[in-house]
A and B are shown apart, each in its own frame.
Chain A
Amino acid sequence: MSFTTLQTDWRASIERRLTHTRAFVDDTDPDALAVVLVSMGSLLAAFVGFLLASAWTAVPLGAFLIATGYGWARHQALLARAVTFAMTTVTLITLGLIVVFIFAESIPAFQYETTTVFGVSVPGFGMFAQARWDAVSEPVRYSLLPMIHGTVMVTTIATLVAAPLGVAAALFIAEIAPPRVRELVKPGIEILAGIPSIVYGFIGFTVINPWASGAFALNGGSTYLFVGMVVGLMALPTVVSVAEDALTSVPDVMKNGSLALGATDWQSMTSITLPAAFSGVSAAVLLGVGRAIGETMAATVMLAGVPRISEPLVNVFYGYETLTSLIARGYGSANGVHESALFAAGVVLFVTVLCLSIGSQYIEARMRRRLGGAE
């Protein structure tokens, strides 16, 4: 499409919308319109006031409450529509604010770690080009590599635990279990999701770490191996519930077609159900990986808290630090560039997990389209 047609398209769309709005304004009771305008306007003002940290925020907020209260009594339908719209924007605004604030706070660290590459100075490159994190003694450097290494170790082990077990459990719930057993297993796995991460961490700290220390004659009990397994257990319910949704969304008639040809249940699962639900199951694993990356408390209390890379690189019997535990441990006592570097770690986490989330949504949407075509 050429630029000019795009432009005319755009104009036409705006014009259409304007006509639409005009017609809407003409059709609506002016009193109702005024109330809604006042209500939404004061809400906007309150939001701006809050952003500016103004003590006067209470005034527009009060105005919003009064206008909305009055409007609720008189013009409920129109106001409900406006208010629910405002509520819908909250998720977008929240995500936007997270991006803005976390990025803004991390700027000093990125600037501090500016490194020149081929004559061009790249902010933040130093965080990934060398491996020293030391906020106290000279030279003060903020490399995220040791923590990224830790996160990769923990996430890999967690995925090795959560992905196969999770998919097997999802198959069990969706296809294999008799109804009574399913009624027992499904809530059981949900409850597993509910056990607070700090409780896992507490058990890890008081039971697993001392045991591992003795059983493998380690220096201290922190290991990526067992942190990874605990985190895998925590990511497991996410994998199970999303994968189970995907498996049950495969139409029953397809499975019946396979069974009626004399295929066994297991053959029908592996040749029909799993391939048809493949995208959904991979999305489940991606989301599980996202959970494992973001898991904080178990890692924080079970790991040693030393920003260092283990030797050799794949040594699972060391447990130093992950991105999440770095933030949880360091925040509060840190200030200045150090605090900003913690935000930089948050940026890395946030961007990674957001990419995983968007990726899994894309895969799921593709699966829905494909299965939709099948019905």
Chain B
Amino acid sequence: MSQTDTAETRTNRTESQSVSTTTGETVEETQAEWTTYEGGGETKLAVDDLDVHYGSDHALKGVSMDIPEESVTALIGPSGCGKSTFLRCLNRMNDRIRAASVDGTVTLDGENIYQDGVDLVELRKRVGMVFQSPNPFPKSIRENVSYGPRKHGDIETGLLARLTGRADPGREEALVEQSLERAALWEEVRDRLDDNALGLSGGQQQRLCIARCLAVDPDVILMDEPASALDPIATSKIEDLIEDLAEDYTVVVVTHSMQQAARVSDQTAVFLTGGELVEYDDTEKIFENPESQRVEDYISGKFG
């Protein structure tokens, strides 16, 4: 996509923003300074005027934000504020929920992922996801990691592939090792790659899920409260990993814990009840000097 296209998109976005203001649905903060915030680097994901309805329930209201590449973006807010819904819009996992309807655009590297004819397989290869509770497959550790590449035909292990010499065990081994290494799990499991993944501890399972996601070589990694089911030590390992991953990947992480957001993220978006994005800025700015009174109340624990 050319530079002018991007500029156009941005202008459109500002327009629609003012429209939503005139309808009176959004509160005064929408026009505050942060709306022009564009994050630190090149924009990876641009979300524009995103509305989500679950049946008659309006779960997200006109959310717009630009997510910069190779950084950590935290989404925080009280339960039911729509932050997980927002996250699931970014790889179209909301398509699974049939009552959900999504309006607006999400642009990944200049391509709208909600236009007709989008290949969901290709999208999800590029936008990986890690879930709230660890969900390894009831298979061996090795199979868990190589699952994605196998399904996409990048690695072949079947009987036929072996017969015709297309199977490349060395490549699979290398990919498994590299992904586990990157997820800081290799040292712990290198001797038991053929054990069932369900035998790992919760923290290890979650790092396995991250490794599984990395094996597909995504650009963006979405994490939905990845540490909420884990103990403090496992949590801190995951947090270190997130910071580390941001060197190569665009990480978007939903979290319940403000400390976690403050520790790991470069920019933070605050969602408050009713599915509005209230403020989005550098993490430091949000936690030290937020624009909005509601965000300040929320952060200081007076509200939410």
Contact = CB atoms under 8 A, between A and B. Distances in A.
Interface of A: 178-179, 251, 253-254, 256-264, 267, 271-272, 275-276, 370-371, 373-374
B37 interface: no
Given A253-B131, A262-B124, 14 more contacts: A257-B212, A258-B137, A258-B151, A260-B213, A261-B124, A261-B212, A262-B122, A262-B123, A262-B151, A262-B216, A263-B147, A271-B147, A271-B151, A374-B198
B252 interface: no
B91 A260 contact: yes
B138 A261 contact: no
Contact of A275 (B120, B129, B131, B138): B138
Nearest to A371: B138
A181 to B, nearest CB: 11
Nearest to B136: A257
B138 A257 contact: no
Nearest to A267: B151
A254 B133 CA distance: 10
A370 B151 contact: no
Contacts of B136: 257
Interface residues of B, number: 28
Contacts of B138: 254, 275-276, 370-371, 374
B227 to A, nearest CB: 16
Interface of A is mostly: helix
Nearest to A254: B135
A233 to B, nearest CB: 31
Given A261-B147, A262-B122, A271-B151, A256 B93 contact: yes
B148 interface: yes
Given A179-B98, A253-B131, A272-B137, A259 B124 contact: yes
Given A256-B93, A256-B96, A373-B198, A262 B148 contact: yes
A70 to B, nearest CB: 55
A261 B154 CA distance: 13
Nearest to A178: B98
Contacts of B122: 262
A259 B125 CA distance: 10
Contact of B147 (A258, A276, A373, A374): A258
5 contacts: A253-B133, A257-B212, A259-B93, A261-B147, A371-B138
A272 B91 CA distance: 20
B121 interface: yes
A179 B100 CA distance: 13
B162 interface: no
A216 to B, nearest CB: 40
B137 A257 contact: yes
Contacts of A271: 137, 147, 151
Contacts of A254: 135, 137-138
A35 B129 CA distance: 65
Contacts of A373: 198
A267 B137 CA distance: 13
A362 to B, nearest CB: 19
A60 B123 CA distance: 75
Nearest to A253: B135
Nearest to B197: A374
Contacts of A262: 120-125, 148, 151-152, 216
A256 B122 CA distance: 16
B158 to A, nearest CB: 12
B209 interface: yes
A371 to B, nearest CB: 8
A365 B209 CA distance: 28
A184 to B, nearest CB: 15
A260 to B, nearest CB: 4
Contacts of B125: 261-262
Interface string B135-153: 1111100000001100110
B82 interface: no
Nearest to B98: A179
Contact of A251 (B129, B135, B148, B151): B135
A272 B131 CA distance: 17
